[in-house]
Amino acid sequence: MSMRYKSILLFGAPGSGKGTQGKILGAIPGFYHSACGDVFRTLDLRSEMGRVFWEYSSRGQLVPDEFTVKLWKNYIKGMEMVNQFHPETELLVLDGIPRNKMQAELLDETLDVVKVIYLRCADMKKMVMRLRRRALKENRFDDANDTVIQNRLEVYERETRPVLDHYPKDRIAEIDATMSQIRVLHDIINILTPIKSDMDHARETAEMSGLAEKKPFNPELAAVSIGGKSS
């Protein structure tokens, strides 16, 4: 059985700042940020998995959970094979996946979620304002519609928020998402620093005892993992 990736789950409603904080953490040595949306955007539509994705998205249908998880697994394995992601030394920072309890269950054999950073916001009016500003800034005028925003928040409450129940309460750390970005980042760093230190210490101990092993680079396997191409 392959190793489970030690992971941090950035969790919260749309507009809570998951993507912003994830990108910042991903720029810090020792952390690797993986956003589910980026995985879909980099998918080769000429590949087998790309064609399956297009079949659903072109009809406006949600991609099945099993396919989403399989696609993400292939992507992250590809990043590992081309030495972009180093699971032995880096904490995986997840943003946008798992999106529901089914995905969380499907990922249990792959992820060792050591902490869930729950960016909580009791004032939903602030979330609506953030989503509206972001949509206008990115020229996605349809997404700035209050009806669209309200629907996204309702989907989150109905399908995504129950993901919190999947993980032990002592692994969930709540942070006030209405604070400034720098204050939120400060609180996240305080939570993650001891976790990363323990991970580094365990790795150093394994290296000293000769238990750690380096995996050889396999370019053919990497190509298949990233593109999802059929043989």
d(CA 86, CA 42): 20
Report the alpha-carbon distance of residue 131 to residue 15 in Å, rounded: 5
pLDDT for 82 equals 95
Q: What are residue 172's DSSP bridge partners? A: 116
Please tell me the total count of domains within the chain: 1
In the prediction, which pLDDT does 230 show?
41
What the block records as the tokens of 191 is 């939570």
Report d(CA 132, CA 215) in Å as an integer: 46
Kindly list the averaged pLDDT for each block of 10 residues, start to end, along the chain of length 231: 86 93 96 91 86 85 90 93 94 96 97 97 84 85 84 92 96 95 97 95 84 54 49 39
Helix (H) or strand (E) holding 47: none
128 with 15: CB under 8 angstroms?
Answer: yes
d(CA 209, CA 34): 31
Pairing between β-strand 111-120 and β-strand 172-176 as defined by DSSP bridges = parallel
What the block records as the tokens of 72 is 């993400």
Q: In this structure, what CATH number is given to the domain that contains residue 127?
A: 3.40.50.300
Enclosing domain of residue 44: 5-227
Identify the DSSP state of 157.
I
Say what the pLDDT of residue 57 is.
82
* Separation CA 55–CA 22 (nearest Å): 30
Cα-based torsion angle of the residue sequence 175, 12, 184, 127 in order, rounded to the nearest 10 degrees: -110
Written as six digits, the tokens of 58 are 């072109």
